[in-house]
Structure 1
Amino acid sequence: MPALPRLLRPLLPLAAAALLAACATRPAAPAAAADKPAEAVPAARVAPPDPNLPAFAAVVKDARRIDGPLPLWQREDKVWIELAPAAWGRPFLLSPKFASGIAEAGVLGGLMAHPVSGAGGPQLVEFVRQYQQVRLQARNVYPATAPGSPEARAAAASFASSLLASAPVVSQPQPQSGAVLVEANALFLGDMLGVGMSLQRAFRQPYLLDPRNTTIAAVRNSADATVIETTNHFYAATLAPAAPGGPSLPRYVPDARSLLVGLHYSLAPLPAEPMHARRADPRIGSFTTQSFDVAGELGSSPRQRWINRWRLEKRDPAAALSEPVKPITFWIDRNVPLAWRDTVRDGILEWNKAFERIGFRDAIVVRQQADDADFDTLDAGRASVRWMTSPDPGFAAIGPSQVDPRSGEILDADIGVEALVTRLKRVERTQVLAGTAGAAAAADGPAACSFADEAAAQLAYGLDVLAARDDLPADDPRTRRYVQDYLRNTVMHEVGHALGLRHNFRASRIYTEAQLADPEFTRDHGTTGSVMEYNAINLPRPGAPLGTPFQTTLGPYDYWAIEYAYKPIAAEHEAAELQKIAARSRDPQLAFATDEDNALGLDPEVAVFDLGADPVAFAAKRLEIARDLFRRQETRTLAPDEDYSVLRRSIAFALNDVGRATQLLLRQIGGVRTLRDYPGSGRDPLQPLPAQTQRQALDLLMRDVLGADGLALSPALQRRLAPDYLERGESGTPTDFALPQRLLELQRSVLATLSGDALAGRVLDAAAKVDHPEDAFGLAELYGRLTREVWSELGAGAAIPPARRELQRDHANRLAAALLQPSARADARALLRSQAQTLLVRLDHAKAHPARRDAETRAHLEDSAQTIRLALKARLERAGV
C-alpha cells in the first residue's frame, strides 16, 4: 500500500484530535457576554442609503427566494443573502466541511474542516455592518465578561475578533423589512478555509485558488441552517518534479495541476438561550470548552472548563423514566453499505443503556437517510455516520463534533468510517491494513484518536493468528462476525467521542486473565471497563478456546461518565451531586486515565492495547502468541491461489505486537501509578510500582527480547518472506524483508530505553517515594542485569552469532558514550562507570581464552574492549574539581 507522504502522517491523526474536540480548545464566554457583540465593534454602523445602489426588488428580479434562518435569493450562478436589521450581530455557528476532496492530504470528502488539518474550522460568527460594507466576522469568545462592565471594555481592547470575508452592500433597504442584500459569491468563493495553504504545505507545490472557476454549487435552507456549497478550483500552472523529501504530486486526480474541492458551509443560528454549562471534573474524562474569567478574583486559575455534551432534557421531569424533549438523533448516511447498516445502528443504540440508567428512554434515536432525501448529512445539526473511501486510508474511523462555545453544548457530529476496513477478502484486507502493521499506538494530544486503524491492525493480526492455528480458516464464515464485532466496537468508541467522552486508558485493567478467557463472561461483560479504551483484541493462548474478541457492550466506566455528563440535576443541588458522582472514582471498576497520562509514560497501568489486570502477564501471553505464530509459519502450507506475501504480512503483524508488548514491559520499570483522586479517597495519588513487578518485567525483557534464545526465524522461513509484487511497484516495498535487522532495531530500542537518562531518572525518583529504600528497585540491579544478559556468551568460549555481536557492540558503544557524556544523575554516572570497568575485565578474560572462537568473534571482543578502555581513560571536566 502506498505510504502517506511523511509530512501528512502526523496530519490526519492531529486533524482527528482537533475534530474530536472541535471547539473544545476554543475558549468560551458565559452566555450573558457572548450573546451580544463586543463593545468595541458595534454590530451595525449604518450610513444613509447610497442613492447609487439599486432597489432591493431590482437586484432580485427573477431570482428565487429560499426561506430560512438567512433568506437566500438565487438567479443562476448568483446568490444573495438577505440581512434584516435583526441579523446584525446575531450569533451563528459556521460549520465548514469537505463535501468532496482529493483522497489525500487531509482534503477528504465527508470530513469536518479544522485549522489543524490546514483548513479553517468551526467558528461563532456574526454579520457586522461597517457603513456600506458587510463583514463575516469570527467573534472572540475567550474572555468571560458581563456586557457593559469595565472588564468587558478592557477585554475588548485585548482580545481581537477575526475577519473571515467581506463584501459590499448591493441594494437599497427593502421598504417593509429594512433588509439589505449582500452577494454570497463574494463572501464564500474566496479561500476562507486556507485550503490553498494546506495544499502548498502538503505537496510543496504552488497551488492557489482559481477564482474564475470557483463557483457556488448549491444552496438551500432549512429551519436549522442555511447551507451554501461551493466547488473550489485550486491550480498550479507549473509543478516541480516529485523528489524524496521534497515536492510531491497528488496521486488520485487525472491532472495534478488541477484540484477541484467541494466545500460545504452551514450557518446555524445558535440557541437563543445557551444551555446550562456543567463544570468539568478531572476524575472523569470529558472534552471541555474553556473561558477566561476576566472579572474573577477568587480561584487558583482564571480558566473555567465546561464539559461538552448534548442538550438533553426530560419530557416529563417527574417521571423515573422519560423520553427526552429532543433526542440525540444520528442519521445513517445513504452511502453506508447495506451490509453494515444494522451493525452501525446497533453500535449507536448501545449507548441508550447508559442513558436509561439516568432516567432517559430512547435518548438516542437512529434514522436512515433515504436515497432521495433533499438534505445532506453534512448539514449542521444532523449528527451522522458516513462511509468514506480513500485509496490509502489515513484513519479507519473518526468521530468529530462541534459545540456552542458559549456553553459546551454539542450541536453536530459526523462520524466517518473508512470503507476499506470492512473488506473481508483476505487479499484486500492485506492491502488495506498492511500500512498500519508497523504503526505505534500512541495518543498525540488531548483528543487525538487512532483507535479504529490500530484496532483494524489488531483484527488483521488476530485473524492471521487464528488462521495459522486452524482455529479460524480464512474462508470461515465466523470471520465476518469478527469484522462485525470490530465495526461495532469502532462505532461505539466514536459515538462515545461524539457524546463528549475522552479516552480512558486505565479501563483495560479491571478484569483478570481467567475472566478474559471465559467466553460467557466476556460476552456478557465485555473485555474492559470502557469502550473508550484502546482495547487489545482478546486473543487466546495456543490451545485455549476462542473468547469475545472485541468490546461489544458498554463497560462500568461508560455508565459513570454518562451519568456525570447527562444526569438531570436541579441547579441548586448540582455542585454537591456532581461531587458525589465524581467521588466514586476510587471504585476499581471506574478507573480512569487519559491521553496525557499515557503520553508522559510514567504510569505502568496507563497504556494502549493492553488487556487484563496484570500487564506483565498480558505481555508474556502476547509474546507467547507471537512465538507460536513464528513456529507455525515455519511449516505452513499455502494454497495455490495464495502468494508468499501472506507469510510476510503475518510476521510483520507479529513483530508489531511484540513491539507493543515490549513497550508495555518497559513502562513497568520505574513506573509510578498516577491516580486522579481527590483527598479523602484513602489512596495516595502517586504510587511507585512494587519492586517485584518491575523485576518480573525486566526478567521477561531479558529472556524474550534481549536474550540469546529470544525471537528468531529460521533461514528457510526467511527465504519465503516475499513481497506482494503487484503492490510493490506502487508502495516502494523493498524485496528483502530484512528480518534480522528488524529484530535488532527492536532490541536496540529496548537497550536505548534501559540505558537512557529518562529511565534512570524514573527509577531513582520512584525509589525516593518508597518508605524503605532497601525494598526499592534500583539502578544497580538494572544495569548489572542488563550487562550480564547482553554479554551472556562471554563465559561460553564459543563463537558469538552475528546478531548478538551487533547487540553487544551497541551496548558497548552506549556505555562509552555515557562515560564521555556523563548522565546528569550522579548515581547513574557512577554506576555506568562501574559497569564499564566490570565489562572490560570480562572482555579481557574472554580474549585470553580464544580456543573455540572464530575470527569475527575475536575481532569483536578486541574492538569492544578497546572502545571501553579508551572511554575509561578519557579526561573529563568534573564539577567541583
Structure 2
Amino acid sequence: MRKKALLFYFCLLSFATAFGQKLPGISEKTASFKKYEGYFTFWWDEDAGKIWLQIDKFNQDFLYVSSLPAGLGSNDIGLDRGLLGDEKVVYFNKVGRKILLVQPNQHYRALSSDPNEKKAVDQSFASSTLAGFTAEAEENGKFLVDATDFLLRDVMGAAERIRDMKQGSYSLDKSRSVIYLPRTKNFPLNSELEVSLTFTGGDDAGNFVKSVTPSTEAITLRMHHSFVQLPDNDYKPRVFDPRSSFNTISYYDYSTPVSEPIEKYYITRHRLKKKDPSAKSSEAVKPIIYYLDNGTPEPIRSALLEGATWWNQAYEAAGYKNAFQVKILPDDADPMDIRYNMINWVHRSTRGWSYGASVTDPRTGEIIKGQVTLGSLRVRQDYLIAQGLLSPFENGQKPDPEKDPMLKMALFRLKQLAAHEVGHTLGLMHNYTASINNRASVMDYPSPTVKLNAKGEIDISDAYAYGIGEWDKFSITFGYQDFPAGNDEKAGLNKILQDARSKGLLFLTDQDARPAGGVSPVAHLWDNGKDPVEELKNTLAVRQKALSNFGEKSIREGVPMAFLEDVLVPIFNFHRYQVEAAAKVVGSLDYRYALRGDGQSPTLAVSKEAQQKALDAVLVCLSSETLTLPENIIKLIPPRPAGYSSSRELFRKRTGLAFDPLSAAESAADFPLQFLFHPERASRMIEYEARNGGLGLEEMINQVLEKTWKSTRSSNLNRKVQFIVEQVVLTHLMALSTNDAANYQVKAVAGKTLKDLKVYLEETRKNTKDSDYQAHIDYALDRMKNPSAAKVAVHKELPPGAPIGCDEE
C-alpha cells in the first residue's frame, strides 16, 4: 500500500509541476510546422500528423458545423456526400490550462437588458461542453492546443447510423484515420478542417454496405469541421405565420410578459436587402448566389442551372432585380466552404432522395449556407418511365438525343427538381396542395402529367411544369420583401397571404399529406389534377394504353428480354400515387391553417357524394381487369440471365426466378387497401357519419366486399387474380377488427362485417361444386378462426416508388 501511495504522490507532483511550468511560446512550439492563417489560425505538424489550433477568441460565440464531404454511396443508409450535421453556436472558455468548447442553450433565453434576468435563465437550463483541450503553448494571450483527437472522431455518427440500419457493427479505427490536408483550409471568416476516418469490424456487414464498399472489412469516409464567424446583428428576424410555407426556428423567451406567448417562432431565410428599400423594384445590396457542382455533366448541367435560376422569377415578384443567381463552382473553390451555397450532384449505388438543407444561425433563423444534394440516378428513372409509356424502339434503335421526347421529359423533371430542392434552402416547406391549383408550386412532389391526345395516343409533352409557381412568388414575397421605415410590416405580410388566398392558393405540408391515415382530401404526394378522382380515371386510361403498346419495342435492340420487367414495373404501377390520393378522400376532412379573424373556415366536411365518388374509382383498381397482366406481356419476360443481378426495383416474386404476375397483382391490390382500412381513417368515418352523414365505415367495407368476395367469378388468370385480391381484402379486414390503434366502434363494425362475410362464404361453399373456388373459400374460413394473426405485412409490397427513381436503365 505504501508503494502505491508513494507512486500516486509522485504522479500528482509531476502533474502539478507540469501544469505549473511556464508554457513555451507559440512561435517556438510551431517553428517547424506549416501555418494556416485565418479565422482560427492553425498549424500542421507533418511528423506527428497533428493539427495545432490557436485559440485567441474566448467567450465569443461562433458557429461550429460538421459535414460529410465524401459519403458511403448508399441511399438507404443515408451517409451521402454533402450531408450536413447540426449547426451549433459555441464558444471557448479557459480555466487555467484547460480550454473548453461550450455550446450554450439557445432554446431557452431572456431577451432582456437586465443581466440578472438573463443569468437566471442561463442557470436554469443545462449547457453542453462538447470538448476539452489543454493549452500547450501561449503567446500574447493566445493559446495553442492539440486539436487532432477532436477532429479524428465520428462527429457525424456514421458507425451508429450503420448499426441502426443493421448493416454492421463498425467502430472507428484511429490507426487508419488521418487529417485530410487537401480540404483543410483557412479563410478570414471561417476555418475548414477535414479528416479521413476508417471504420472497421464488418464481420456482420449488410447488403447495403457490401454493395458500395470495395472491402467490407473497412469503410473510409471523410468528415469536415467548420468554425465560422457568426453574422453581425443587422439581420432582422421575421415572425412566422403558419399560413406561409416557411420553415421555422423557435425558442422560449422568459422575459416575455405573462400576457404574451412565451415561445417565439421566426422563419428561416437568407439575408437580403434592397439597395433602395423605397423602390418598387431594386437591386439587392448583396444577391443570393448558388454554385452548381462543377462535376455535373451535360446536358444535366444546363438543366439544373436553368431550373435553379427559376427562383429569380419569385424574387422579381418580391421587388428585386437579379437578386438570385446561379453559377458554376470555380475549380479553385471548395464546395464545403461555408461561404458557398451549393448544388451538389451526388452519386449513389441506388436511386434515392434529393435534399435541400441549410446551415442556419440558431439565434435568428438567418440562413448562412444552402446545401442541395441531387441524386444522379433520378434522371434515369424518369427516362425509364417515359420509355415504358411510349414503347418507342420500333426499329430497336436509340432515338436521336436532339429529338428524344423521353430525354426532354427527364431533363424537365431535373429542372423542377433543382428548383424544388433549392426552395428548401431558401427556407420553404413542401406545399402538397399545388397540384389542385394548376401546379402552383415547385415545392409540391409532381409525378409526370400524361394524357391521351385526340388520336388516343399518349402525350408526355406537358409532363412537368415550366418555371416557378404562383404560390412560390407569394411565399418569397412574404419572406423577403422589404418594408421601408414607417410601413406596418405585420399588416403588409398579412396582405400578401390574404392576396394569395383570394386567388384560391392553398398551403398544406408534410404532416397533412404523408401519413397513410392522412386527413386532408387535397394534400397528396405525387398526385396531379384539380380533382384526384378524375385524374385517377385519366391515369388508368393512360396506363391501359401503355400496357396495350408494351412489348419488344419497349427496349432497345440487344438488351436482354428479361429487362422488359424493369420497364414494366413503373407502368403497371403507374396509377399508384393517384389511387392513393383518391383513397384518402374517403374519411377525409377539408381544413385550413386558419387564424382567428382571417376569414377562413377552419374545417369543412367532405360530402358523402365526394367520398363515394372516390371509393368507386378506387374499387376499379381492385378489379381483376385492372390487375391482370395480358398474356402477350407475360410470355415475353424470361428469368434474368446469368451475370445480371436482380433488384428490389423489380416485382416481388413467389415463383423463384420466373416472372410472377400474381404477386404483381397482390402488391397492387394491397396498396390502396392500406389507405381504405387504415385505423385512423376508419375511426374518422365512424365519427363523421354520426356528425354529418358522411360515408360510413360499414358501408365502405360492404362495398369493398361486394366488388371482391361477392362479385361475379372471372376465368383463367383473371380468376386467380380475383382470388388473391379477395384474400388481401380479408387480411386487412381481420387486421382492422383487432387493431388497438382503432377505436372500439371501428373494431365492432369490422368484427360484424367479418362475421357477416363468414356466413356468406359458408352458404356459398354449400352451393358451389367448383373445387378450386371451394379451396379458396375453405382457406378464407380457416383464416377467419384467428383474426388477430392477420398481418398486412405478409403481402408482397410494391417495388419502391417514392421518390420516383430507380437504379437501372
- Same structural fold, with TM-score higher than 0.5 when normalized by the shorter chain: yes
TM-score, normalised to structure 1's length? 0.78
Query: Pick from 421, 424, 446: which aligns with 1:494?
Result: 421
Q: Which shows bigger deviation, 148-157 or 316-325?
A: 148-157
| 2:84 corresponds to 1:113 | yes
8 Å CA contact 1:191, 1:209 repeated in 2: no
Pair 68,797 (structure 1): closer, same or farther in 2 beyond 3 Å: closer
C-alpha separation between the residues in 2 aligned to 1:641 and 1:471? 12
Report the counterpart of residue 356 of structure 2 in structure 1.
399
Pair 463,680 (structure 1): closer, same or farther in 2 beyond 3 Å: farther
C-alpha separation between the residues in 2 aligned to 1:404 and 1:531? 26
C-alpha separation between the residues in 2 aligned to 1:799 and 1:718? 11
| 2:96 corresponds to 1:131 | yes
Report the counterpart of residue 80 of structure 1 in structure 2.
52
Secondary structure of 1:167's partner?
A: strand
Report the counterpart of residue 802 of structure 1 in structure 2.
720
- How many residues align? The count is 750
8 Å CA contact 1:274, 1:406 repeated in 2: no
Report the counterpart of residue 127 of structure 2 in structure 1.
161
Pair 599,748 (structure 1): closer, same or farther in 2 beyond 3 Å: closer
C-alpha separation between the residues in 2 aligned to 1:560 and 1:595? 19
8 Å CA contact 1:92, 1:268 repeated in 2: yes
Q: 1:229: Cα distance to partner?
A: 1.9
Secondary structure of 1:620's partner?
A: helix
Report the counterpart of residue 430 of structure 2 in structure 1.
503
C-alpha separation between the residues in 2 aligned to 1:552 and 1:302? 43
Pair 536,814 (structure 1): closer, same or farther in 2 beyond 3 Å: closer
C-alpha separation between the residues in 1 aligned to 2:214 and 2:473? 50
Query: Pick from 190, 193, 196: which aligns with 1:228?
Result: 193
Report the counterpart of residue 533 of structure 1 in structure 2.
444
Please list the CA deviations of residues 730-764 of structure 1 after superposition, one character each: whole Å capped at 9, or x if unmatched: 64876233221231233245446545543322223
Report the counterpart of residue 673 of structure 1 in structure 2.
590
Secondary structure of 1:135's partner?
A: strand
Pair 193,784 (structure 1): closer, same or farther in 2 beyond 3 Å: closer
Q: Aligned AA for 1:195?
A: A
Report the counterpart of residue 94 of structure 1 in structure 2.
64
| 2:580 corresponds to 1:617 | no
Q: Aligned AA for 1:154?
A: A
Q: 1:253: Cα distance to partner?
A: 3.4
Query: Pick from 390, 410, 418: which aligns with 2:348?
Result: 390
8 Å CA contact 1:138, 1:161 repeated in 2: yes
C-alpha separation between the residues in 2 aligned to 1:730 and 1:637? 19
Q: 1:569: Cα distance to partner?
A: 1.5
C-alpha separation between the residues in 2 aligned to 1:160 and 1:362? 45
8 Å CA contact 1:843, 1:861 repeated in 2: yes
Please list the CA deviations of residues 296-340 of structure 1 after superposition, one character each: whole Å capped at 9, or x if unmatched: 244675321110000101122233322111111112232222433
8 Å CA contact 2:58, 2:93 repeated in 1: yes
Question: How many percent of aligned residue pairs carry the same amino acid?
Answer: 22
Q: Aligned AA for 1:352?
A: N
Please list the CA deviations of residues 684-727 of structure 1 after superposition, one character each: whole Å capped at 9, or x if unmatched: 2211222222111111222x222343321134422322354367
C-alpha separation between the residues in 2 aligned to 1:799 and 1:736? 16
Secondary structure of 2:270's partner?
A: coil
C-alpha separation between the residues in 2 aligned to 1:816 and 1:263? 49
8 Å CA contact 2:521, 2:585 repeated in 1: yes
Secondary structure of 1:465's partner?
A: helix
Please list the CA deviations of residues 58-95 of structure 1 after superposition, one character each: whole Å capped at 9, or x if unmatched: 112244443322223345344333333xx112222122
C-alpha separation between the residues in 2 aligned to 1:624 and 1:91? 61
8 Å CA contact 2:99, 2:133 repeated in 1: yes
| 2:679 corresponds to 1:764 | no
TM-score, normalised to structure 2's length? 0.84
Report the counterpart of residue 718 of structure 1 in structure 2.
634
Please list the CA deviations of residues 462-493 of structure 1 after superposition, one character each: whole Å capped at 9, or x if unmatched: 33202369799852433332222111111111
C-alpha separation between the residues in 2 aligned to 1:714 and 1:53? 84
Q: Aligned AA for 2:38?
A: G
Q: Which shows bigger deviation, 718-727 or 122-131?
A: 718-727
Q: 1:649: Cα distance to partner?
A: 1.9
Q: 1:815: Cα distance to partner?
A: 5.7
C-alpha separation between the residues in 1 aligned to 2:470 and 2:237? 25
Matches within 5 A, 1:375-454: 375-395=333-353, 397-422=354-379, 429=380, 433=381
Q: Which shows bigger deviation, 468-477 or 301-310?
A: 468-477
Q: Aligned AA for 1:112?
A: L
Q: 1:405: Cα distance to partner?
A: 0.8
Q: Aligned AA for 1:162?
A: S
Q: Which shows bigger deviation, 382-391 or 739-748?
A: 739-748
Q: Aligned AA for 2:120?
A: A
Pair 840,93 (structure 1): closer, same or farther in 2 beyond 3 Å: closer
Report the counterpart of residue 641 of structure 1 in structure 2.
558
8 Å CA contact 1:529, 1:589 repeated in 2: no
Query: Pick from 386, 389, 395: which aligns with 1:465?
Result: 389
C-alpha separation between the residues in 2 aligned to 1:809 and 1:231? 53
8 Å CA contact 2:666, 2:728 repeated in 1: no
Q: Aligned AA for 2:29?
A: V
Query: Pick from 274, 295, 314: which aligns with 2:274?
Result: 314
Please list the CA deviations of residues 650-686 of structure 1 after superposition, one character each: whole Å capped at 9, or x if unmatched: 3211233332232222101111112113244544221
C-alpha separation between the residues in 2 aligned to 1:729 and 1:122? 41
C-alpha separation between the residues in 1 aligned to 2:703 and 2:55? 76
Pair 474,611 (structure 1): closer, same or farther in 2 beyond 3 Å: farther
Pair 289,831 (structure 1): closer, same or farther in 2 beyond 3 Å: closer
Q: Aligned AA for 1:693?
A: A
Q: Aligned AA for 1:385?
A: I
C-alpha separation between the residues in 1 aligned to 2:503 and 2:388? 34
Report the counterpart of residue 796 of structure 2 in structure 1.
none
C-alpha separation between the residues in 2 aligned to 1:531 and 1:617? 22
C-alpha separation between the residues in 1 aligned to 2:33 and 2:751? 85
- What residue ranges of structure 2 are gaps of 5+ in the alignment? 1-16, 651-655, 788-809
Secondary structure of 2:573's partner?
A: helix
Matches within 5 A, 1:174-323: 174=140, 178-202=141-165, 203-211=167-175, 213-218=177-182, 219-236=184-201, 239-242=202-205, 249-273=209-233, 275-298=235-258, 301-323=261-283
Q: Which shows bigger deviation, 336-345 or 744-753?
A: 744-753
Q: Aligned AA for 1:58?
A: E
- What residue ranges of structure 1 are gaps of 5+ in the alignment? 1-46, 115-120, 423-428, 434-455, 512-527, 872-881
8 Å CA contact 1:270, 1:404 repeated in 2: yes
Pair 585,675 (structure 1): closer, same or farther in 2 beyond 3 Å: farther
Q: Which shows bigger deviation, 564-573 or 208-217?
A: 208-217
Q: Aligned AA for 2:148?
A: N
Secondary structure of 2:680's partner?
A: helix
Report the counterpart of residue 15 of structure 1 in structure 2.
none
Report the counterpart of residue 657 of structure 2 in structure 1.
735
Q: 1:636: Cα distance to partner?
A: 5.2
C-alpha separation between the residues in 1 aligned to 2:125 and 2:481? 35
Pair 686,135 (structure 1): closer, same or farther in 2 beyond 3 Å: same
C-alpha separation between the residues in 1 aligned to 2:163 and 2:232? 40
Q: 1:362: Cα distance to partner?
A: 1.2
C-alpha separation between the residues in 2 aligned to 1:59 and 1:799? 82
